């Protein structure tokens, strides 16, 4: 079975129907499910998503929507469905910093942690709208629904 991790920007787009990438994210997720891929949700993505939806709802003057978005997130990513990698940050710290340096900071700490977790877990695909992941040799970034037919 093909395994695909989801990046924060895809998860945010899935839970917030006002997100620019919402329709594309839904199409990608539905195509991944139809292709019977295993979706991987990391704890750091959950963490970042809460921050993004909190900041976004405040900035867009729609704080009353935060609880609804958080409910959507916890439905999509219940605790038992999360891959808990945060504890790996300490033993992987030097490698995370190396990846950040190699990418001149365009790959942030959480992105480098995600990339290393994918490598460690044998996850070759990442659904993300962030092109900085294209520089990670062991990952193939999925950002268009048409790419899913070629997964193997």
Does residue 86 surpass a pLDDT of 90?
yes
Q: Which residue has the tokens 């520089």?
A: 135
The pLDDT-based confidence of 150 (bands split at 50, 70, 90) is: confident
The confidence score (pLDDT) of residue 96 equals 97
> CA-based angle 39:47:11, to the nearest 5?
40
DSSP bridge pairs for 4: 39, 125
- Please give the Cα distance from 46 to 69 (Å, whole number): 12
- pLDDT value at residue 37: 96
- Average pLDDT over the chain, rounded to an integer: 96
Q: What are phi and psi of 6, to 5 degrees?
A: -110, 130
Per-residue pLDDT tens for 50-75?
A: 999 999 999 999 999 999 999 999 99
Q: Looking at the chain, how many residues does it have? A: 152
| Alpha carbon 94 to its chain's center | 22
Half-sphere exposure at residue 134, Cβ-oriented, CA atoms within 13 angstroms: 6
Query: 32 φ, ψ to 5°?
Result: -65, -40
Strand, coil or helix: 108? coil
Give the SS3 label for residue 38: strand
Measure the CA–CA gap between 118 and 113, rounded to whole angstroms: 9
What tens digit of pLDDT does each residue of 10-63 get?
Answer: 999 999 999 999 999 999 999 999 999 999 999 999 999 999 999 999 999 999
């Amino acid at each position: 079975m093909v395994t695909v991790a989801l990046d924060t920007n895809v998860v945010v787009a899935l839970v917030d129907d006002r997100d620019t990438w919402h329709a594309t994210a839904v199409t990608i997720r539905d195509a991944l499910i139809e292709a019977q891929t295993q979706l991987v949700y990391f704890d750091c993505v959950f963490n970042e998503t809460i921050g993004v939806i909190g900041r976004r709802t405040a900035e867009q003057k729609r704080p009353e929507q935060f609880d609804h978005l958080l409910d959507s997130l916890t439905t999509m990513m219940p605790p038992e469905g999360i891959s808990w990698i945060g504890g790996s940050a300490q033993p992987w710290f030097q490698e995370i910093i190396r990846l950040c340096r190699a990418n001149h900071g365009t790959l942030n700490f959480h992105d480098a942690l995600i990339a290393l977790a994918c490598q460690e877990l044998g996850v070759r695909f990442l659904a993300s709208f962030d092109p900085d992941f294209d520089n990670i040799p062991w990952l193939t970034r999925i950002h268009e629904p048409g790419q899913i037919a070629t997964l193997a």
